[in-house]
Amino acid sequence: MAWNIARIAKRSAPRSNGEFTAQSAMSSAQALSFCRIVENLDGIGFWSTDTDGNVLHLSGKAMTRLPDPGSAFGQPLTALFMQIDDAGESGRSLRFALSRRSRFERLAVCTGQEENRRWWLLSGEAQFDNAQHFTGFSGICSEITDDRRIAEENAKAAMHDPLTGLLNRRQMTRKIERTLSAYRPHKRPCATLLIDLDRFKQVNDTLGHSAGDALLKQVSERLLTILKDPETVCRLGGDEFQVLLPDVEDRGDLGNLAERIIAMISQPYSVEGSRCIIGASVGIAISPFDGTETDELLRNADLALYAAKHGGRGAFRFFSRELLTAAEDRRQLEEDLHDAINRGEFVLHYQPIVQCSTHAVTGAEALIRWNHPEQGQISPSLFIPIAEESALIRRIGDWVLRTACMEAAQWPRALRVAVNISPTHFSDPGFPASVTQALAASGLDPDRLELEITEGVFLAQGDEADARFKTLKALGVRLALDDFGTGYSSLGYLKSAPFDKIKIDQSFVKGATQTGSRNRAIIAAIVALAQALEMETTAEGIETHDQLDLMRELGVSQVQGYIYSRPLQPEAFLDGARQTDWGIEPEGPACQRQDRVSLFRWIGAIHEDFYYPVVLRNLSTTGALIEGLEDVPVGTRFVVYFGEGQLEVATVRRITGDKLGLEFDKTLVNDGTGGLCTRTRISPYDLISAGLPPDFEASTIRTPIGPRDGKVCVPAFTSTIGRKAIWGTQGTS
C-alpha cells in the first residue's frame, strides 16, 4: 500500500514550470506525508486503477465502508462504484469518464444496495508514463452518504404532505403538468378527482386540531386502500384531496370510483376515543375534453366539486360547460342579492299544512321567493346557498322572520306560521333578539310562530345550541326539527332540545308505498318516537293518494304537499284563512309512479352522411324516445349526439308516427346529479376534424336547423364520424 500512496503522491505533487514560488512548491516527501494524513481521514480516500480500469489501490478507511472489502482489488472500478440515476453534471457516467482518459471531478456514484447503500463523489485523472503511454487512473473519493440522505429527506418533504405522507399540492401540480404535456400530442385522456370532506370542520371545532389531524391520516389511508398507488393521491391542504388517473375516461367507471370513495370516507371513524362521522363530495374533470392545460382542468374539477357540494353534499359531479355559465351567473346573482331586500324583490309564499285525519288547514310554511327584475322568479335552491356563503343569509333570515310574523298577524284565524332557520342564522348571537323584535313589531302570539331548525345546528353550535333553545322556548315560540333522519341524526338531540314537532323529510315519503321499501318502517319508527316524546309529526312532499293513506295509517299528525296545495301567494292564502272551517280536499294521482326522465330539447341524430335535428322526449339508461323523423324502418342505426361531445350508437326498435324508440348499444351512466351521461366523449379535435364547425353545438343543438318533419336531410359533415361511431373506432376523450 505504501508504494501505491507514494505513486499517488508523486502524481499529485505540483509540477515545476518555473512559475511556482518557494512557498507553493511541495516535495515528494511532503506530498507523501500529506497523502497519508488525508488517507486517514474518515470518509476520504485515494484510489488508482490499471490500464484496464481494475482497482489497484483503495484507501483503508474507504475500503472498510464497502459491502465486501476483501473483493475490491482487481475488480473493475465501474463494478465497485455504480452509477446512480440522478448523478449530476449532465448525467455523465463513470464508464464514459474513464473511456475519455482525461480528468473528471465530483462524479456521483454509489456502493452497496438498499439499506447498505453509500454515496460517493469520485474525482480522478488519467496517468501517463514518460513515453506518454496510458498507465491507469488515480484520484480521490469522498463519502457523501449523510448529505445525500439529508437531501433525499428534504426532497421527500418538499414533495409530500408532512401529515399524511401523500403527495403535496406542488408535486401533484407538476405531475399533472408533465402528464398533460406528454398526453396532449396523442390526445390521451387523463382524469382528475377533487375530494372535499363534509363536516370536517365540526370535528376540529368540537374535538380539537389533534383529532382533526388524526382523522385526516385515517382518510388518507382509506383513499390508498381504494386507489392503491400513492403516486396518484395528493392532499391539497386542509380537508381537500386530489386524485390523478392517467388514461382513464370512462365516466361509468369514474362515477363508480367516486361512489366508492364517498361510501368509504363516510364510514364512522374512531378518533382519540370519540366516534366521528364525516362525508365527502367529489368533482371530476377529464382531459382533453374538460381542459388541456393544468389550470383549466383543475378549475373545471373545482367547479364540479362546488356543484357537488351545493347539490346536497355526499355526491359526485362531472364537469360540464353549464357549470362555467353557472359560476358566472352565481357571481352576478350574488351582486344582485345584496340589493334585493332594499329593492323589495323578495316575497313569501305559504304552503298549507293540513291535519292528516280531517283535511283541516292548521298553518303554513313560509317559503321565500325572489322576483328578479330581469330573470324573473329565481329558485331558492339557487340563491340560498349563495346567501349562506356571503353571510347575507342573516339579513334575509331577519326579513323572512319579520315578514312572516307581520303577515300571519293579519290572518283572521289563529293559524301557525313555520319559518325555516338557516344554521348560519341560528348561530348568530343576535338571533333570539331578531325573533323577539319580529314578534313585538307584529303583535303575533309567540305560540303561532314555529321555527324549523335542521340538525346541522347541533354540529355548528355544540353546547351553545342548548342555551339558545332555552332562550327561544322562554319566548314562547314552537320548535320543529326539520329534515329529521337525513343528516347527522342522534336521539340525543331530541333528549336535549325542547322540540314540539318532528318533520319527516320527503326522501322517506318517496318510495314508502313501494313493495320492499324500508321507508315505511322508518316513518313508523319516527312517528312512534315522536308520540313517546309527546311531539307532533309533519310529513313533507305528499303528492299521491297512496302516500296520504299510508301517512294516516302510520299515525302522522299533519302533512303538506302538492296533493293538498302548492305554495300560495299571500293574498290567496289570506282568502283561504278567511273561511271559518278551512279544509282542502286532496287531489292528485292514485299512486306514485316510477321516476321518468321526461325531456324536451333538441339533439342530433346522425345517419351516414347526414345530421338530423330531433327532439328528445324521454331518456333512460338503455334508450330514448326521439321525435321529428318519419319513414324510418325498424333496425335503422343512428348515432345520437347529446351535445358536449356525447355520442351513443342506437338502433330503432319501435315507431309511432314521427316518434322513434331507440335502444342504445351501451347503457348511459349516472352523471352524479340524478341525470344520465355517456361513458365517453368525442374529443373536440375529432369533432372538428370530422367536418364539424367550431360552433356546431351552438348552431345545431340549442336551436333547430332545418324542418322538423324529417323529410329534408341536412348535410352536416362527411360520413367519417358517423361510420366511425357506429363501428366503434372513433377517438374519445
184-208 pLDDT per residue, tens: 998 899 999 999 998 888 888 778 8
Burial tier of 481 (Cβ tally within 10 Å: 0-12, 13-18, 19+): buried
The residues of the chain that CATH labels 3.30.70.270 are 160-319
Task: Tell me the C-alpha distance between 294 and 309, whole Å.
Answer: 22
Classify residue 21 by its DSSP letter.
-
**Section 147-167 average pLDDT:** 81
Give the least confident one: 71-80, 436-445, 568-577: 71-80
β-pairing, 279-287 vs 316-318, is parallel
The residues of the chain that CATH labels 2.40.10 are 597-727
pLDDT at residue 70 is higher than 70: no
**Section 201-223 average pLDDT:** 90
pLDDT at residue 140 is higher than 50: yes
Task: Tell me the C-alpha distance between 711 and 632, whole Å.
Answer: 10
- Whole-number pLDDT of residue 43: 67
The pLDDT confidence band at residue 708, using thresholds 50, 70 and 90, is very low
- Contacts with 7 (C-beta within 8 Å, 6 or more apart), sequence order: 48, 57, 138
**Section 610-629 average pLDDT:** 89
Q: Which one of 57-61, 275-279, 685-689 scores highest in mean pLDDT?
A: 275-279
pLDDT > 70 fraction of the chain, expressed in percent and rounded: 82
Q: Which of 550, 520, 551 is nearest to 536 (CA)?
A: 551
- Side chain identity, residue 261: I
The pLDDT confidence band at residue 284, using thresholds 50, 70 and 90, is very high
Residues facing residue 246 across a β-bridge = 190
pLDDT at residue 30 is higher than 80: no
**Section 539-552 average pLDDT:** 93
pLDDT at residue 57 is higher than 90: no
- Whole-number pLDDT of residue 713: 33
The pLDDT confidence band at residue 3, using thresholds 50, 70 and 90, is very low
* HEC string for 272-309: CCEEECCEEEEEEEEECCCCCCHHHHHHHHHHHHHHHH
- Phi/psi of residue 528, each to 5°? -60, -40
pLDDT at residue 558 is higher than 90: yes
Helices (H), 356-443: 380-390, 393-408, 423-426, 431-442
> What is the DSSP code string of 586-620?
--S-SSPPPP-EEEEEEEEEEETTEEEEEEEEEE-
Calculate the dihedral angle through the C-alpha atoms of 132, 136, 139, 141, rounding to the nearest 10 degrees.
160
For residue 468, the SS3 value is helix
Q: Checking phi first, is residue 479 left (phi over 0); if not, alpha (psi -120 to 50) or beta?
A: beta
Give the least confident one: 140-149, 458-467, 521-530, 683-692: 683-692
- Whole-number pLDDT of residue 107: 87
- Whole-number pLDDT of residue 528: 93
pLDDT at residue 428 is higher than 70: yes
pLDDT at residue 13 is higher than 80: no
The residues of the chain that CATH labels 3.20.20.450 are 345-577
How many CB atoms within 10 Å of residue 670? 19
Instruction: Report residue 674 as a C-alpha cell.
Output: 340524478
* Averaged confidence pLDDT in the chain: 82
Quick check: bond before 288 cis, omega within 30? yes
The pLDDT confidence band at residue 492, using thresholds 50, 70 and 90, is low
Instruction: Report residue 486 as a C-alpha cell.
Output: 337525513
Task: Tell me the C-alpha distance between 678 and 250, whole Å.
Answer: 9
Beta strands in 620-703 (DSSP E): 623-627, 637-643, 646-656, 659-664, 669-670, 676-677
- Whole-number pLDDT of residue 711: 32
Strand order in the sheet with 118-128: 55-58, 44-49, 134-143, 118-128, 104-111, 82-83
Q: Which of 189, 183, 290 is nearest to 248 (CA)?
A: 189
- Whole-number pLDDT of residue 310: 79
Task: Tell me the C-alpha distance between 488 and 462, whole Å.
Answer: 13
> What is the DSSP code string of 492-546?
HHHHHS--SEEEEPHHHHTTTTSTT-SHHHHHHHHHHHHHHTT-EEEEE---SHH
The string of pLDDT tens digits covering residues 373-392 is 988 888 888 888 889 888 78
The pLDDT confidence band at residue 545, using thresholds 50, 70 and 90, is very high
Which residue carries 447503500 as its cell? 117
**Section 661-690 average pLDDT:** 78
Give the least confident one: 142-156, 278-292, 425-439, 615-629: 142-156
Task: Tell me the C-alpha distance between 382 and 442, whole Å.
Answer: 30
Q: Are residues 690 and 720 in contact, defined by beta-carbon separation less than 8 angstroms?
A: yes
- Whole-number pLDDT of residue 26: 58
pLDDT at residue 329 is higher than 50: yes
160-319 homologous superfamily: Reverse transcriptase/Diguanylate cyclase domain (3.30.70.270)
In CATH terms, the fold of domain 2-150 is: Beta-Lactamase (3.30.450)
pLDDT at residue 180 is higher than 60: yes
- Whole-number pLDDT of residue 42: 66
Taking the complete model, does pTM exceed 0.85, yes or no?
Answer: no
- Contacts with 672 (C-beta within 8 Å, 6 or more apart), sequence order: 255, 258, 282, 284, 308, 315, 316, 317, 318
Residues 194, 197, 201, 203, CA torsion sign: negative
**Section 520-545 average pLDDT:** 92
Task: Tell me the C-alpha distance between 330 and 334, whole Å.
Answer: 6
The pLDDT confidence band at residue 575, using thresholds 50, 70 and 90, is very high
Q: Which of 570, 569, 510 is nearest to 539 (CA)?
A: 510
- Whole-number pLDDT of residue 88: 44
Higher pLDDT among residues 690 and 146, named by residue: 146
**Section 415-443 average pLDDT:** 93
- Whole-number pLDDT of residue 571: 95
The string of pLDDT tens digits covering residues 233-259 is 999 989 999 999 999 999 999 999 999
Residues 420, 425, 427, 428, CA torsion sign: negative
The residues of the chain that CATH labels 3.30.450.20 are 2-150
Task: Tell me the C-alpha distance between 725 and 683, whole Å.
Answer: 12
In CATH terms, the fold of domain 345-577 is: TIM Barrel (3.20.20)
The pLDDT confidence band at residue 446, using thresholds 50, 70 and 90, is very high
pLDDT at residue 604 is higher than 80: yes
Task: Tell me the C-alpha distance between 105 and 109, whole Å.
Answer: 12
pLDDT at residue 84 is higher than 70: no
> What is the DSSP code string of 110-155?
EES-GGG-EEEEEEEEEEE-TT--EEEEEEEEEE-HHHHHHHHHHH
pLDDT at residue 14 is higher than 60: no
Q: Find out if CATH 2.40.10 is the number for domain 597-727.
A: yes
Residues facing residue 286 across a β-bridge = 191
pLDDT at residue 330 is higher than 70: yes
| Alpha-carbon radius of gyration of the chain | 38
